[in-house]
Amino acid sequence: MESEQLFHRGYYRNSYNSITSASSDEELLDGAGVITDFQTSEDDNLLDGDTVVGTHYTMTNGGSINSSTHLLDLLDEPIPGVGTYDDFHTIDWVREKCKDRERHRRINSKKKESAWEMTKSLYDAWSGWLVVTLTGLASGALAGLIDIAADWMTDLKEGICLNALWYNHEQCCWGSSETTFEERDKCPQWKTWAELIIGQAEGPGSYIMNYIMYIFWALSFAFLAVSLVKVFAPYACGSGIPEIKTILSGFIIRGYLGKWTLMIKTITLVLAVASGLSLGKEGPLVHVACCCGNIFSYLFPKYSTNEAKKREVLSAASAAGVSVAFGAPIGGVLFSLEEVSYYFPLKTLWRSFFAALVAAFVLRSINPFGNSRLVLFYVEYHTPWYLFELFPFILLGVFGGLWGAFFIRANIAWCRRRKSTKFGKYPVLEVIIVAAITAVIAFPNPYTRLNTSELIRELFTDCGPLESSSLCDYRNDMNASKIVDDIPDRPAGLGVYSAIWQLCLALIFKIIMTVFTFGIKVPSGLFIPSMAIGAIAGRIVGIAVEQLAYYHHDWFIFKEWCEVGADCITPGLYAMVGAAACLGGVTRMTVSLVVIVFELTGGLEYIVPLMAAVMTSKWVGDAFGREGIYEAHIRLNGYPFLDAKEEFTHTTLAADVMRPRRNDPPLAVLTQDNMTVDDIENMINETSYNGFPVIMSKESQRLVGFALRRDLTIAIGTFLKHTHTHIHTGI
């Protein structure tokens, strides 16, 4: 019987960038007598970049399963350890789980023989908790260092602290006696580059010098980041989440979670964020955490020799990555469960929670945000939300869904064009061009000049009595003659209208630059840019609703809640809802996203508006395409990823995929139901085929799967072995 090639996009022997050649995990085999070939190397680190120097493990097919000697030999035959799989191939989940069961059974059978065997058994049982503890510690420490270094280098583009060169702008002015935030930002300890170089703090000359230095530092950081990635660790570029999802589904990408990738990604992530590019560090932090989990897993034989068990550690590591990225440990666990994990047993849930807890504790101890809080954007609103506000919240959800659909299509189209043109052969030039355009356009606008995280924090903030931002430039009237904790709604001043105009320009700028930035050859996350776009749109909508309620408080929709002089509308809440909606539109996350945002802000009271906006954004986005950005990039790169959330319709017949050769007997198939162990055993005895298609039924021969002869033999042998054991025990 002759097997037609079953193409799986991305099964490449040499490069995943090409989709012209493909193979299945084991070429899905020819007819009788063909061997299954696994390339192995005892000391090869699958996810490190070392060269494979291996031997070949072969298993011949054919033979009768009734031979107990043959069956026991097959079950007891040493299963290859590390290095079983070629690069860009998929692991055999059945084989790995069988290996783990046999290992566990062997340890349990020996643990009562001696104290040493009992100690080995306890070590094996606790190794899972030890590896996630180490992963959490390393992830939290690296995230804290990245946050501190990125903040310092971002502020370096504008000036330096003379009293302590290692302080960023905020830390430099902590001891200042000024009372308003604007005055505090101009503290004497902090010197701009214009003050240091030409001795001018104000005027056209000062502005031009600061402009030039801003562009210089941005280009320097971007060039250094892309150069390090290109020379030392090409896998350190991008977000990492599409590849993490693919690896967790069982795909092998050797070197992607290695030591060099970890080191270069940590360094270049700081440089990329500091360059001012429209990107974030949250997605890459998941990659960093998974690198830590992979490296530590090699300290424990339970995980180093089993690819399926190793992916349990990587699932926990991804939870730790989100935990330190946002200060959201519970959201990190849900993110791992909902978004990235392919195989997530209950014990992995507990260990993911523990890893996220440890990572969050370490990050809180480092205190990189300087606010003695774990969360990145802590908010403290003084008014609740009202029922009539659900309408603008849903509108923000619609905007988020439209933005997500537009971004996915535009970014994928640009990335596809990059792959198919000469422009993709010059990644350094591309990064320099994008960084130059970003810096030149960003500097004149105070909202685009800000670090993106700082921009989101300012947009989330409610206007208090000491706020000097243009967003809080309201005109006082007789209803607000006295400063109180709850600032009533007031008419907008010139500063607010100027800020709205600048925010509109910033919104257009962020939308365009994020499309061209995500996918360039530097570490680049998408969470923060998407949240910034949503926060800008939300703040604009919030100010509009606030002014509408102030000038038309007698309308029936406002009359019950918005009295004259009342603190009715909180524009910062709209920014928070818009941020969640836009991030949901891009990633199509729901539950984990809502939990991340309320953990991120501490705004538990506002979870219902978040849920409404996120669900709306998902529905609107799904109307244009069900893929999120990560699934779209997985498909673009040709990775063999089967999404568990997808619904597959079985329309292919078995004869369309496998056809018998001349003089061969009819096609031997397995049916989905109504086959006994004896039926399968007889079919294996009577044929010598390497595998069998699985169909729905004899009447409807639609293909639903493929079962290898080896897996069937092992499964039946295990069943017979356990059956004989139970019979013997009963007797």
Count of domains for the chain: 3
The predicted pLDDT at position 94 comes to 78
Note whether 420 and 534 are same-domain residues. yes
Note whether 505 and 611 are same-domain residues. yes
Exposed/middle/buried for residue 727 (C-beta within 10 Å: 0-12, 13-18, 19+)? exposed
Note whether 614 and 689 are same-domain residues. no
Note whether 203 and 177 are same-domain residues. yes
Point out the domain boundary residue: 637, 664, 696.
Answer: 637
Q: Which residues contact 370 (CB under 8 A, 6 or more apart)?
A: 170, 171, 174
Nearest-CA neighbor of 411 among 277, 526, 280?
526
User: Which CATH number is 341's domain given?
Assistant: 1.10.3080.10
* Contact yes or no for 408/588 (Cβ under 8 A): no
Note whether 566 and 690 are same-domain residues. no
| In a domain? residue 287 | yes
| In a domain? residue 372 | no
Point out the domain boundary residue: 366, 398, 430.
Answer: 366
**Residues of the chain falling short of pLDDT 70:** 1-84, 175-186, 368-375, 465-467, 476-489, 561, 563-566, 644-650, 658-660, 723-731
| In a domain? residue 123 | no
Query: Count of CB atoms within 10 A of residue 321's CB?
Result: 36
Exposed/middle/buried for residue 124 (C-beta within 10 Å: 0-12, 13-18, 19+)? middle
* Contact yes or no for 517/452 (Cβ under 8 A): no
The predicted pLDDT at position 629 comes to 94
Rounded Cα distance, 382 and 650, in Å: 55
| In a domain? residue 602 | yes
Point out the domain boundary residue: 637, 662, 690.
Answer: 637
Note whether 401 and 534 are same-domain residues. yes
The predicted pLDDT at position 8 comes to 36
The predicted pLDDT at position 129 comes to 94
The predicted pLDDT at position 242 comes to 93
pLDDT 10s digits, 222-262: 999 999 999 999 999 999 999 999 999 889 999 999 999 99
The residue with tokens 């949240």 is 531
Give φ, ψ of 66 to 5 degrees.
-70, -15
Domain hosting 246: range is: 130-366
The predicted pLDDT at position 84 comes to 65
Note whether 167 and 288 are same-domain residues. yes
| In a domain? residue 248 | yes
pLDDT 10s digits, 96-154: 888 888 888 888 888 888 888 888 888 888 999 999 999 999 999 999 999 999 999 99
Question: Quick one: residue 263, left, alpha or beta (phi over 0 = left, psi -120 to 50 = alpha)?
Answer: alpha
| In a domain? residue 376 | no
Note whether 412 and 550 are same-domain residues. yes
What pTM value is reported for the model?
Answer: 0.81
Note whether 701 and 585 are same-domain residues. no
Note whether 444 and 317 are same-domain residues. no
Nearest-CA neighbor of 600 among 436, 395, 379, 415?
379
Note whether 630 and 685 are same-domain residues. no
* Contact yes or no for 587/628 (Cβ under 8 A): yes
| In a domain? residue 556 | yes
The predicted pLDDT at position 565 comes to 60
The predicted pLDDT at position 393 comes to 95
Residue 671's identity, in one-letter code, is T
Q: Is the dihedral of CA 287, 289, 292, 297 positive or negative?
A: negative
Note whether 585 and 670 are same-domain residues. no
The predicted pLDDT at position 182 comes to 52
| In a domain? residue 502 | yes
User: Which CATH number is 725's domain given?
Assistant: 3.10.580.20
What is the DSSP code string of 666-731? Answer: PPP-EESSS--HHHHHHHHHH---SEEEEES-SSS-BEEEEEEHHHHHHHHHHHHHHHHHHHHHH-
The predicted pLDDT at position 466 comes to 61
